[in-house]
A and B are shown apart, each in its own frame.
Chain A
Amino acid sequence: MSSIPAPVRGAASPMTPEEKKVIFASSLGTVFEWYDFYLYGSLAAIIARQFFSGLDPSAAFIFALLAFAAGFIVRPFGALVFGRLGDMIGRKYTFLVTILIMGLATFIVGVLPNYASIGVAAPVILITLRMLQGLALGGEYGGAATYVAEHAPHGRRGAYTAWIQTTATLGLFLSLMVILSTRTIVGEEAFADWGWRVPFIVSILLLGISVWIRLSMNESPAFKKMKEEGKTSKAPLSESFGQWRNLKVVLLALFGLVAGQAVVWYSGQFYALFFLTSVLKVDGSTANMLVAASLIIGTPFFVVFGTLSDRIGRKPIILAGLLLAVVTYFPLFKALTAAANPDLARAQATVPIVVKADPATCSFQGSPVAREVDFTNPCDIAKRALAQNSASYANEAAPAGAGAVIRIGDREIVPPSGALIAGGHKFDEASGKAIAQFKKDVAAALKEAGYPPKADPAKMDKVKIVLILSVLVLYVTMVYGPIAAMLVEMFPTRIRYTSMSLPYHIGNGWFGGLMPTIAFAMVAQNGNIYHGLWYPVTIAAVTFVIGLLFVRETKDVDIYAGD
């Protein structure tokens, strides 16, 4: 720890070795968080086969709901639990506990017997571990941001905390290296059988290093001083959320900063990839390379914008990122279509597709836990088939009671309806076959009309694609680079951990985490492949307006003033 109190040191002084250690130790936890996040994405199919394949449909659905809750309810709850602890007993011990829980839970997944070995106990334990991870994750980011910011000299908080924001890319690359190396060494078959456990098990090394470094760290000087003076909060939750003066700032942090940041982040990092693979039909390996290249180009800008925010302010950079996203998302994603799949762009422009149906027979498709069998109306089946084929279509209202029909150019196809059996968990044989045949007919008609089943690699303009993706990542760095410093500066030391953690996790978990599902549902509902962009554009626009009107600039705030 620096012998010079952090807030007193000049902004121009170089980073001390102790400060570097603080940043490194804090960032390791968030690397862990992202490493986990990508492992569960990459290995989802294998984990499902290992732990859920023996369950009956009802039990599988309950576990799906619980896993959904782990991501969206448990994390904000963790923000409350560990935020409170962090404000009462200290930053150091709290985020030592969060990383221990997170790391041990990850490790145990790697050695957990599967369904074939211990039956239903396997998914129960897995979900419990996921819940524990979610709980710990809720406390990790707020702890890391607070800890680093409270060690940073005044005028350098943006630069220091921005390093934490680079860990999403590091976590992704680390997971890729471990998974792909293991897969290459043990082979595909062994990887699916037992090799998938290796990335979880090796995380114990990351945990060991993190705990060892964190144990050697000191408490944040701001918290230490407050504790010595007996000024720590006795009830951080009621102080944070029970008093309008602070609750107002929490709400502003959520609706004037984090909500927009989250949708821009998810759009640049995930929706762009989803759009390339699922909408533009670029093969997965090529899309991964293109996205990884853009992340390499964009990642240093987290630090650039974090540092810049110490000079010109956090607010102008974050708001500029939001505004640029609002104004340019539609043209950028259209340019992405033209660069990645020009045949699709041409077909969409020349062969119109129409779904004609009685609007009363078309249902909402936005449930995040919806399954294929939840859509049995011909209208829904038609829309899902087209959405899954990335075909833009227009909706035409048919008279009440009339059947649905898809028109692709001059050709008309009538969608079937689905009849369910097994307590509503399965299509009966006849309707299952009819739906499969219908999907084949739609795919054939689309192909005939010039809609390519896959993007042609020879026609892709890869340089242009990387350029567009890099611009999307650049927006991410603008909104995300300075945000940790800004959130820290919005709240007093005594309730900082609690107050900043909750809006961060609600914003990123709910507004961001649901973005892909909502965007897909909007596309399926409306028919236009770009329609889903209205979700991030609207949220970013609302956040921009609230941020512009009500959020104060914080770069010059003395974070010790209220202590």
Chain B
Amino acid sequence: MWKLILGFLVFAGGAMYLLSQGGDIDMGGEKHGVEAHEPASGAASAASH
């Protein structure tokens, strides 16, 4: 069990480190609305999540 916890913490720590270095990324998951196909749409920010 301790190996799993350690592994998870190392893995999560790595992701947190990368996020802290430049984590401007959409973590909101797959988009199902029209915004996924309208790269320049002004509506994207409003209805995308």
A105, B34: Cα distance in complex, Å: 22
Contacts of B49 in A (CB 8 A): 270-271, 273-274, 278, 516, 520
Contact present for A180 and B19 (CB under 8 Å): yes
B19: min CB distance to chain A, Å = 5
Q: Mark out the residues of chain B between 10 and 41 whose CB falls within 8 Å of any chain A CB in the assembled complex.
A: 11-12, 14-16, 18-39, 41
Contact present for A387 and B46 (CB under 8 Å): yes
Contact present for A47 and B23 (CB under 8 Å): no
Contacts of B44 in A (CB 8 A): 45
Residue of B11, B19, B33 with most chain A CB atoms under a 10 A cut-off: B33
Contact present for A520 and B46 (CB under 8 Å): yes
CB of B6 within 8 A of chain A?
A: no
Contact present for B29 and A37 (CB under 8 Å): yes
CB of A61 within 8 A of chain B?
A: yes
CB of A299 within 8 A of chain B?
A: yes
Q: What per-residue 1/0 map shows which CB atoms of A350-382 lie under 8 Å from chain B?
A: 000000000000000000111110000000000
CB < 8 Å neighbour of B46 from A67, A300, A368, A384: A384
A136: min CB distance to chain B, Å = 14
Tally chain A residues at the interface, Cβ within 8 Å: 62
Q: Quick one: given A68-B32, A370-B43, are A184 and B22 in contact (CB under 8 Å)? A: yes
Instruction: Please tell me which stretch of A223-231, A284-292, A402-410, A468-476 contacts chain B, meaning at least 4 of its Cβ atoms lie within 8 angstroms of it.
Output: A284-292
Contact present for B36 and A47 (CB under 8 Å): yes
Contacts of A516 in B (CB 8 A): 28, 49
Q: What per-residue 1/0 map shows which CB atoms of A504-542 lie under 8 Å from chain B?
A: 000000000100110010000000000000000000000
B7: min CB distance to chain A, Å = 10
Contact present for B14 and A41 (CB under 8 Å): no
A472: min CB distance to chain B, Å = 15
Contact present for A48 and B36 (CB under 8 Å): yes
CB of A177 within 8 A of chain B?
A: yes
Q: Mark out the residues of chain A between 169 and 202 whose CB falls within 8 Å of any chain B CB in the assembled complex.
A: 169-170, 172-173, 176-177, 179-181, 183-184
CB of A560 within 8 A of chain B?
A: no
Contact present for B31 and A291 (CB under 8 Å): no
CB < 8 Å neighbour of B18 from A177, A269, A384: A177
Q: Quick one: given A170-B11, A173-B11, A372-B42, are A41 and B19 in contact (CB under 8 Å)? A: no
CB of A218 within 8 A of chain B?
A: no
A369, B33: Cα distance in complex, Å: 5
A428: min CB distance to chain B, Å = 15
Contacts of A292 in B (CB 8 A): 12, 15-16, 19, 27
Contact present for A67 and B47 (CB under 8 Å): no
Task: Name the residue of chain B whose CB is nearest to the CB of A274.
Answer: B49
Residue of B24, B35, B37 with most chain A CB atoms under a 10 A cut-off: B37
Q: What per-residue 1/0 map shows which CB atoms of A309-337 lie under 8 Å from chain B?
A: 00000000000000000000000000000
CB < 8 Å neighbour of A288 from B27, B31, B35, B47: B27
CB of A241 within 8 A of chain B?
A: no
A147: min CB distance to chain B, Å = 20
Contacts of A48 in B (CB 8 A): 36-39
Q: Quick one: given A42-B27, A64-B33, A299-B8, are A49 and B39 in contact (CB under 8 Å)? A: yes
Contacts of B42 in A (CB 8 A): 372
A70: min CB distance to chain B, Å = 8
Contacts of B19 in A (CB 8 A): 176, 180, 285, 288-289, 292
CB < 8 Å neighbour of A67 from B8, B14, B18, B32: B32
Contact present for B37 and A176 (CB under 8 Å): no
A53, B22: Cα distance in complex, Å: 27
B37: min CB distance to chain A, Å = 4
Contact present for B30 and A40 (CB under 8 Å): yes
A469: min CB distance to chain B, Å = 12
Contact present for B26 and A64 (CB under 8 Å): no
Contacts of A61 in B (CB 8 A): 34, 37
A463: min CB distance to chain B, Å = 16
A299, B43: Cα distance in complex, Å: 33
A420: min CB distance to chain B, Å = 14
| Chain A interface (Cβ < 8 Å from any Cβ of B) | 36-38, 40-42, 44-45, 47-49, 52-53, 55, 60-61, 63-64, 67-68, 71-72, 169-170, 172-173, 176-177, 179-181, 183-184, 269-271, 273-274, 278, 284-285, 288-289, 291-293, 295-296, 299-300, 368-372, 384, 387-388, 513, 516-517, 520
* CB<8 Å pairs between A and B, sample of 30: A38-B30, A40-B31, A41-B28, A44-B26, A44-B30, A44-B31, A44-B36, A45-B44, A52-B37, A60-B38, A64-B36, A67-B37, A71-B30, A172-B15, A173-B12, A176-B23, A180-B25, A181-B18, A270-B28, A270-B29, A278-B46, A288-B25, A289-B16, A289-B23, A295-B12, A296-B9, A296-B16, A368-B47, A388-B46, A517-B32
| 8 tightest A-B CB contacts, nearest first | A274-B49, A173-B15, A180-B18, A372-B43, A40-B30, A64-B34, A48-B39, A41-B29
